[in-house]
Amino acid sequence: MIYLALCIICMIAVELFILVPIEKPVQQLVAASRNSAKVVASSRMSDRRKEKILPKYAIRIAGSTLKAFLMLVLVVGSVWIAALLLQYLLPLERSIIDFLVSWEGLLLATIVSFAYWQVRKRLIPVVRSH
């Protein structure tokens, strides 16, 4: 029964990762990091100008990091709540949280999540609205 609970949790996690638009803040983070690295490496820009530009990139990086972090917390928190609910609804032989953090549980969760994502991707194409 614990394997069934793990499969349900993995499907919930995959669906949440598909629904949560985490790609945008990560792309913004990467873009701001690249731009700030270009500014630092630029020899055609004065240090004074760099001092004015870099704090703006730092704010963008911090904002994007915070957005991505909060989205991850949302997904992980939702999966954790689902695991606790399944713990109380199904007669499990051991704690689902303990199983999820064991080597067996992590390996199985990775395999099930990847397999579910592949099947879902073939059956239901993911459409992202920008």
Alpha-carbon distance values, 61 to 36, 53, 78 (Å) = 10, 13, 26
Question: How confident is the model at residue 36, as a pLDDT?
Answer: 93
- CA distance readout (Å), 4 to 13, 20, 52, 93, 127: 14, 24, 55, 12, 28
Share of the chain above pLDDT 70, in %: 96
pLDDT reading at 130 higher than 70: no
**Cα distance between residue 60 and residue 81, in whole Å:** 31
The tens digit of pLDDT for each residue in 34-76 reads 999 999 998 898 889 989 999 999 999 999 999 999 999 999 9
Confidence of residue 127 (pLDDT cuts 50, 70, 90): low
Mean pLDDT over 80-101 rounds to 87
Q: What is the mean pLDDT of the chain?
A: 90
**Coil, strand, or helix at residue 88?**
helix
20 to each of 6, 37, 60, 121, how far by Cα in Å? 21, 29, 20, 16
- What sections of 42-92 are H helices per DSSP? 47-89
Contacts for 119 with CB less than 8 Å, ≥ 6 apart: none
10, pLDDT greater than 60? yes
pLDDT bin (cut points 50, 70, 90) of residue 88 is confident
Q: Report whether pLDDT(33) > 60.
A: yes
- The pLDDT score that the predictor gives to residue 126 is 65
